[in-house]
Amino acid sequence: MSDGGAEALFRAAYTEHLGWMLNTVRRLGVRPADIEDVAHDVFSTAWKRLDTYSRERAMRPWLFGIAFRVVSNRKANRSGQEQLEAEIDDARGEAHRPDELLEAEVTRRQVLAALDALPVDQRAMFVGADIEMTPITELAETLEIPLNTAYSRLRLGRQRFEAAFTKLRQEVKR
Amino acid sequence: MNEKLDPLSDLVRGALETERARAPSAEQVARLAGRLEATFGAATAAAGAAGAAHVAGKTAGVAGGKVTGALLGGKALLFAAGVAIGGAGGATLHAKLAAPRVIEVTRVVEVKVPVPAEPVAEPAVPVQAPAPVVPARAAKPLAQSGLDTERLLIEQATAALGRGEAAQALEACERHAAKFPTGQLVEERESLAIRALVLAGRRAEAERRAAAFRARFPESMLRGVIDAALGE
């Protein structure tokens, strides 16, 4: 698809969904320092794959599927040493955060921390269904997995998230 | 099929509501918008007779906002002159974008930004000093991975093109071509090189390279970018 309609559609995609995409890749586990790069990669991939988008469908689930694959590939391609360096970088970043964060921001950080307890496939289902509020059937289609698998991943993801988040909250109260 | 899911606890549901109100900083959104415009602006500008793409709607749990910028005739030169934020709720972020030299502004690009209904700890606006949007990221070490290195070179070319520095853009493209002759971002590199050649006034070379691109990538989505750069 290389007609003007496709190009206008693509512009609509990234103007409408740019801010959402930055949030989404962060929720999928991308480090703060990398979210712009990854969001850019997602839109670049979307541009190349625009012919796979059906205009009858909502744009966000389609973009979400691309984001999931970009993030998954990125994680898979990362060596242990790179992962370690990234974690050290993140730790340095955390050291500079203000002592008194607004409660909402503390909660958001706890949500992201709890999401780190989930494997990437469960994380994608949890983020898509319980944060983005995308219907499970649509997520299953987007992620190209059977509906049973989608439910299973979401169920496990919820359990892990509940446990991790509750533990984080209890640690803060101590 | 077991479609029954245990409901989330009140504690988690409340936390997820808060998370849904997360908003990226306006600076970050403007920076990424600039990079996207620099990468894809020419193609979408060519298709932009209908004007700015602005789709109504809201992100669940967050208020709608927008960043407005100017796309400069086909070359996608974007420079931020400042970002200001309005009130909470239906806040409007307005990034004033201006060219480094006098170029006719052909249309306005609006970018929707989720704006939280409550304050966040890291408000990133207003931005006081004029700052270039496209080249804003600091360079990363080259040795992370092949794709990261490719991406870095492409970003350098994109940023240089965004600044209107054709020679630097071409230099980054040549470095990419030398290091990654069959890399994953060859299409992007060739697209940038062709646009840089046009910008440098080397039209014949641009047309030759464009012909080679079309032959090599007949189905490429970047053909529109190239056609627009060449005014075809």
User: B90 and B18, same structural domain?
Assistant: yes
For chain B, the average pLDDT equals 63
In a domain, B141, yes or no: no
For residue B221, give the nearest of A47, A82, A148 by CB distance: A47
* Residue B126 pLDDT level (bands cut at 50, 70, 90): very low
User: B74 and B156, same structural domain?
Assistant: no
Give the C-alpha separation, A58 to A137, whole Å. Answer: 13
Residue of B nearest to A129 (CA): B16
The 3-state secondary structure of B188-221 reads HHHHHHHHHHHHCCCHHHHHHHHHHHHHHCCCCC
Residue B193's pLDDT is 92
Q: Which two tokens stand for residue B131?
A: 């700052």
User: B126 and B15, same structural domain?
Assistant: yes
Bigger pLDDT: A136 vs B57: A136
* Residue B118 pLDDT level (bands cut at 50, 70, 90): very low
Bigger pLDDT: B84 vs B190: B190
User: B177 and B90, same structural domain?
Assistant: no
B142-174 pLDDT tens trace: 344 677 788 788 888 887 887 888 898 999 899
Is the per-residue pLDDT at A8 higher than 80?
A: no
The last residue of one of the domains, among B132, B166, B200, is B132
The 3-state secondary structure of B118-146 reads CCCCCCCCCECCCEECCCCCCCCCCCCCH
Is the per-residue pLDDT at A1 higher than 80?
A: no
Give the C-alpha separation, B34 to B14, whole Å. Answer: 35
For residue B33, give the nearest of A18, A97, A158 by CB distance: A18
User: B152 and B39, same structural domain?
Assistant: no
Give the C-alpha separation, B230 to B195, whole Å. Answer: 8
In a domain, B5, yes or no: no
User: B39 and B95, same structural domain?
Assistant: yes
Q: Percent of chain A, pLDDT > 70?
A: 80
* Side chain identity, residue B124: A
In a domain, B138, yes or no: no
User: B46 and B123, same structural domain?
Assistant: yes
Task: Calculate helix-pair angle for A103-115, A147-173, nearest 10 degrees.
Answer: 130
Query: Is A105's CB within 8 Å of B113's CB?
Result: no
For residue B36, give the nearest of A14, A27, A154 by CB distance: A14
User: B175 and B104, same structural domain?
Assistant: no
* Residue A173 pLDDT level (bands cut at 50, 70, 90): low
B139 touches chain A (CB under 8 A): no
Is the per-residue pLDDT at B8 higher than 90?
A: yes
Where are any strands of DSSP class E within chain B? 66-72, 79-85, 93-97, 105-112, 131-132
Bigger pLDDT: B99 vs B178: B178
In a domain, B217, yes or no: yes
For chain A, the average pLDDT equals 82
Give the C-alpha separation, A45 to A51, whole Å. Answer: 11
Q: How many CB atoms lie within 10 A of CB B55?
A: 12
Domains of chain A: 1-96 (1.10.1740.10), 99-174 (1.10.10.10)
User: B99 and B64, same structural domain?
Assistant: yes
Q: Could you give the ipTM of this predicted complex?
A: 0.80
Residue A39's pLDDT is 94
User: B126 and B30, same structural domain?
Assistant: yes
Is the per-residue pLDDT at A151 higher than 80?
A: yes
Give the C-alpha separation, B203 to A150, whole Å. Answer: 52
The last residue of one of the domains, among B106, B132, B158, is B132
The last residue of one of the domains, among B73, B104, B132, is B132
Interface of B with A in 140-169 (CB under 8 A): 144-145, 147, 151
Chain A residues whose CB is inside 8 A of the B63 CB are: none
Is the per-residue pLDDT at A26 higher than 90?
A: yes
For chain A, the 3-state helix, strand and coil shares in percent, each to the nearest 5, are 80, 0, 20
In a domain, B137, yes or no: no
Which domain range does residue B175 map to?
Answer: 146-229
User: What is the helix (H) or strand (E) element at residue A47, kind and residue range?
Assistant: helix A35-48
Number of structural domains in chain B: 2
In a domain, B38, yes or no: yes
User: B163 and B224, same structural domain?
Assistant: yes
In a domain, B140, yes or no: no
Mutate to test the interface with A, among B156, B221, B222, B223 (most CBs of A within 10 A): B221
In a domain, B6, yes or no: no
User: B191 and B90, same structural domain?
Assistant: no
Is the per-residue pLDDT at A63 higher than 90?
A: yes
Among A71-85, A130-144, B29-43, B146-160, name the most confident range: A130-144
